[in-house]
Structure 1
């Protein structure tokens, strides 16, 4: 029962902070300048050999 309580406290504080920072990092990575060009280039990779 003590392990559950400790993990619950961790998830409520540091776990939430880690997930929030990860989400913000994904948003910054997605909407950074130049992301559209690299995404379009990556989208064309399967079609290059045709």
Structure 2
């Protein structure tokens, strides 16, 4: 049996199974009960009155912020 056939069989079975497990893990992690406040904050982010600007290198924050 050549190398290509062995790698193809492994990819068709075990790698597919691991990718499916990773997909399920991501779905379960995203919908976990403790993530509700994080998702609510992200949903309201576009409605904030003033978007936060990333701080430039060497720049200092203004007093009052």
TM-score normalised by the chain length of structure 2:
0.56
**Bigger Cα Rg:** 2
Counting matched residue pairs gives 48
Instruction: After the TM superposition, list the runs of 4 or more consecutive aligned residues in structure 1 that deviate by more than 3 angstroms.
Output: none
Unmatched 5+ stretches in structure 1: none
Comparing both structures, which one devotes a greater share of its residues to helix? 1
Name the Cα RMSD after superposition: 3.0
Give the TM-score normalised by the residue count of structure 1: 0.70
Structure of higher RCO (CA pairs closer than 8 Å, 6+ residues apart): 1
